[in-house]
Chain A
């Protein structure tokens, strides 16, 4: 027995000194190979007397385990050292540029449309659309703007035929007409889209975007209109306080009609929405004119409600500090890169409209 202990001490000592994986494997064979020292001891187990066998076996197992553990940890230790040494040589310059990533962008108009849709979705509006080419009736006559009405002069219209029956819609209001003609009240919709007028300068583009709103039910009054717009503007500009003013105006398709101004001030050359003593005209609205309701087969004695129209591009300009309307449509790589949005930034109520 004492022999075995001696052998154990001797080998542990050897293992401690040894740094080489081959010699450790050699030791492993010497101890545990077919004719290894420890293996041989086990073979002798049968020849040991009954009384001593139990203890002998237990000692032997203990020694075996101790030696094996030592060998395993030794091998691990050496391997780790080798790997570390290898990795040290593999070091790269991580300041070299990463592989290219092509970052895409969403146009501010699309982003703003998504923001608007998200806000109105929260208060139960659904999105309707209509064609860009309209007939004269839907764009004007059905909206209480007959042929001889001077209000038509306010819309510089693109025509597609000499008879002036087909045109590019001058506002999104014809979507109201289409929506009401094909359905039955109540209606609670917004209609964002492209609109066209044949004038063009720094502040006007021949194409721009509007969002139309329409809420028709049995008892929708001007208080609901004011509440809806107050909610929308506050949410859109992400401000807690909002100065808003309704001002009497005139649109053929609404009565009473209003233009809506919001308060703002200029701080350090930037426009701050919500407070201040200056007024900014932001949208037109009113109660849908009974003549319009009659034109779309809705009984004005039973149903009433409001409509509004907002310039989407202008909202975007105000919110994101964009100065030039025409730049929206000029596809300048630098402009899109700066004012565009990450496609992952999907406006929603729970994550917020913007970062």
Chain B
């Protein structure tokens, strides 16, 4: 909502200066977006300095100048003036500028083969003098002003308010003045009485059809005969220009002016183009008309149209049609001032995708009682500017508008705001806002002003009083530290713990979009359905992600392409398993690319591999409070992992959902996405599948048990079938005597020479310790033999001699 302070003062009597008015607008809740000079064509003329001037290669009388216009780079301008020389301060106009003298619009152009970006201007071209001999010469004083506007802004300063959707009344200058007056910033001026002579009846018949879903409830109009439409007078043009609009003709400009002034949209028809009568009715599907935006619209059922015998003239409250539009030749006009229902306006404009100033106002709710005031003001102005005779007003209405009332308990104000103001002051504020008040002892019966459709209940009255009184009166109470329940629940604690746990292993946490490119997502979505976004921001962010990996791998590649080689990224966040709310899982996805050691003076270089991924996965789970010995590792993983170098982690044998996957990323994916890396591994941890740890940390700590008896370690090497997994071997050994066998560690795996092709050798270190006694040589011998015999019988292994 734009207006000038002068315009505001036509409605508001105030001694305050501009700055005070601006501050007060903000204080009552009318947010000031900007308060600046209206843009002017003269803004394009900039103080500049010629840095260098050289002879044009193809023309004796032209020069090619490098001009400093206050930007980081100079611009090249071809100039014919004899005084265009190095060091001169002058006036520059860029492409798009309009030269005041001849109204020519500049563009980038080639002059005798050299491209010229704009022009250096003579005083004559700027209409400053008749001197057209050379370009304007400015004194050294302009040194500081290079790049700044040459002309001081003479345009008025324009206030631009961002009006919240609940305040349609402030989409007019008068409404703003009323709000300021209520806040004690001056007084609202009375509207001058009209001296209109209305000697004849409005004889163009207007009917609002009574039908379901009728979007119009009141249609006021008058005829103005014998007008001569013309260019608007300067004062009106200035007003229209200050709004950032183009003046069109006096009649159109006046209707626009009244709309901004009183928040009262109007429409003027060329009465001679209306066929017989005006019928306000619902449209039929397939009806068409050409609107004033020069587009042809095809209508649906039940849109509110203004029509005549030949068809649709316009969409009520949204846009008029070209068929009945006013032109400079128009002699007789029908002026419309109507009320359209917000719901109907909104529905129609959304379906047809039309946005106009009138639509913007009607969908928020126009004062139904402003119909006559609008007709009076517009008719007065039209008569004054264009002449003509004004008919009596014809007001058709489907129903009498109701007066809305609300009962306001005075105590509610303090209950909500926490501070008290006198009843007297409350009454003053709301009566200044236009409420009619019937005072009771502890409450007020209020009649809501017709221009405030947003006010329906007592809380709205609290807001009115507190915003006018000023939010600075609200106290700042020290917060109470009372707590209703723990800050984080178990799952949230797990989230924050795992997030830092993974980061502590050298991974950079990242946050990527929850949506992704379906093409990449398809590589990772497995069993999940694709979830499309109906209106994606771009075609490569068109689905919700089914995995953390699509975005993570995309950005990993970007970093690799920037020249980084060894990278570790992770993200913790939602992945989507379905389209419904809640069909999402919280997942950690981590990727690591490159080498474990690179250019290292001590260690040998090696690629990251599945066991790096496994270490970070297992360690993270262990840190979260789960016992490493109880985790079950299986060799199944989703298809985007390397089929032979990946696995899954289960919390126990009974669980059917893995809590994690780890492994090398499938080489086909690496190839398909063209990721140039030595190696790529990853892991995923599913937070939702974590069961609560059986014992809380404090319980685990309280059970401190250890054995003081001597422990003994012994190494074994078995030759076994390649198909048998290391874990199977460990399980067999541990199960021999869980009390005695404290630890089994694989320390070597060997395949090759001296070992049959389908076999491998696994070397294990077994720790044996009793919690009851020191084991004798004999005891140890016994258990060692048992280990060998059990492993051999259960796995078909042979002890290596």
Interface residues of A (CB under 8 A from B): 96-97, 99-107, 109-110, 114, 117, 120-127, 129, 131-135, 138, 148-151, 153-154, 158-162, 164, 166, 168, 186-188, 194, 196, 198-200, 206-207, 219, 221-228, 230-231, 245-250, 252, 255-259, 287, 289-290, 304, 328-333, 336-337, 340, 343-344, 346
Contact = CB atoms under 8 A, between A and B. Distances in A.
A304 B416 contact: yes
B698 interface: no
B17 interface: no
Which residue, of A107, A109, A114, has the highest number of chain B Cβ atoms within 10 A?
A107
Given A104-B568, A134-B581, A331-B555, A224 B479 contact: yes
A199 B479 CA distance: 36
B16 interface: no
Q: Which 4 A-B pairs have the closest CB atoms?
A: A102-B506, A248-B29, A223-B418, A331-B555
Interface residues of B, number: 98
Contacts of B562: 332-333
Nearest to B454: A250
A159 B477 contact: no
22 contacts: A99-B602, A100-B597, A102-B568, A104-B507, A117-B487, A124-B481, A133-B581, A138-B581, A148-B346, A158-B533, A160-B534, A198-B535, A221-B416, A225-B474, A247-B27, A247-B471, A248-B28, A249-B31, A289-B459, A331-B552, A332-B559, A336-B509
Contact of B343 (A99, A148, A158, A227): A148
Interface of B: 26-29, 31, 164-167, 342-343, 346-347, 363-364, 415-419, 457, 459-460, 462-463, 466-467, 471-472, 474-489, 492, 496, 499-515, 531-537, 541, 544, 551-552, 555-556, 558-559, 562, 564, 567-569, 573-574, 576, 579-584, 597, 600-603
Nearest to B532: A160
Contacts, number: 254
Contact of B462 (A97, A138, A196, A256): A256
Given A249-B29, A304-B416, A158 B536 contact: yes
A194 B415 contact: no
Contact of A256 (B467, B477, B484): B467
B581 A126 contact: no
Contact of B584 (A131, A222, A224): A131
B459 A255 contact: yes
Looking at A121, A230, A247, A337, the one whose CB has the most chain B CB atoms below 10 A away is A247
Nearest to B465: A256
Contacts of B478: 227, 231
Given A106-B500, A107-B509, A123-B481, A100 B166 contact: no
B457 A290 contact: yes
Contacts of A117: 487-488
B601 A107 contact: no
Nearest to A291: B457
Contacts of B567: 333
A227 B533 contact: no
B89 to A, nearest CB: 29
Nearest to A174: B581
Nearest to A122: B481
A230 B471 CA distance: 14
Given A224-B479, A255-B460, A333-B508, 5 more contacts: A104-B508, A104-B568, A125-B487, A250-B164, A255-B463
A222 B503 contact: no
B471 A106 contact: no
Nearest to A134: B581
B601 A126 contact: no
A148 B508 contact: no
B43 to A, nearest CB: 24
A160 B579 CA distance: 7
A227 B479 CA distance: 6
Given A223-B419, A227-B478, A250 B167 contact: yes
A340 B509 contact: yes
A225 B544 CA distance: 36
A256 B487 contact: no
Nearest to A159: B534
A138 B136 CA distance: 65
Nearest to A150: B165
B487 A340 contact: no
Contacts of B579: 133, 160-161, 166
A153 B360 CA distance: 11
A243 B435 CA distance: 35
Nearest to A169: B581
A246 B27 CA distance: 9
Contacts of B510: 107, 331, 336
B491 to A, nearest CB: 9
A194 B514 contact: yes
Contact of A304 (B415, B476, B485): B415
Nearest to A281: B31
A92 B302 CA distance: 91
Contacts of A336: 508-510
Contacts of A248: 27-29, 463, 466-467, 471
Contacts of A134: 581
B537 A246 contact: no
A77 B556 CA distance: 61
Given A248-B29, A328-B511, A343 B504 contact: yes
Nearest to A102: B506
A164 B350 CA distance: 14
Contact of A247 (B26, B419, B505, B573): B26
Nearest to B419: A223
Among A107, A123, A160, A331, chain B packs the most CB atoms within 10 A around the CB of A331
B534 A222 contact: no
Nearest to B551: A331
Contacts of B483: 124, 126, 188
B503 A343 contact: yes
B477 A105 contact: no
Contacts of A196: 514
B576 A133 contact: yes
Contacts of B475: 223, 226-227
Nearest to A178: B581
A150 B363 contact: yes
A355 B233 CA distance: 66
Given A124-B484, A148-B346, A150-B364, A329 B166 contact: no
Contact of A331 (B499, B569, B603): B569
Contact of B474 (A114, A226, A255): A226
A256 B466 contact: yes
Contacts of B544: 133, 160
A168 B481 contact: no
